[in-house]
Amino acid sequence: MDLIDFGRYVGALFVTLGLMALALWAFRRFAPRLGLTVAAPAAAGARRVEVVDSRMLDARRRLIVARFAGREHLLLLGPQNDVVVASADAAPKPAGDAA
């Protein structure tokens, strides 16, 4: 490999990185007009979904109790499908968990 080939490789790398930067700029500039906005992550204290408890049933399946919108949902998670087993109103949080 001589100096000319090395220059071509470095130049191709810079052109590729420049095209990626241009595509990112164009996405940020024109995405809101097309309705393609990316949702901002929620603040650390404003989480809407909470995993209350989790148990492994066997090597492939897991039961999870998740709290969402004032309700608790019992979910059975497996490799092929996920099933909502039950839903109920969430019990009030204990006073020690307020922090």
Of residues 94 and 55, which shows the higher confidence score?
Answer: 55
Asked if residue 32 belongs to a domain, the reply is: yes
Q: What does the alpha-carbon distance between residue 12 and residue 65 come to, in Å, rounded to a whole number?
A: 51
Token readout for 28 is 């940020």
Asked, for residue 10, whether it belongs to a domain, the answer is: yes
Give a yes or no: residue 82 inside a domain. Answer: yes
Rounded to an integer, what distance in angstroms lies between the CA atom of residue 84 and that of residue 49? 15
User: Are residues 55 and 80 located together in one domain of the fold?
Assistant: yes
Expressed as residue numbers, the domain containing 15 is: 1-38
Residue 95 has a pLDDT of: 67
pLDDT tens digits for range 11-37: 999 999 999 999 999 988 887 777 666
Q: Which whole number is the average pLDDT over 77-93?
A: 85
Beta-bridge mates of residue 56: 62
Q: How far apart are CA 99 and CA 96, in angstroms?
A: 7
pTM of the model as a whole: 0.48
- 54-71: pLDDT as tens digits: 999 998 999 999 998 889
Same domain flag for 25 and 54: no
Cβ 29 vs Cβ 37: under 8 Å? no
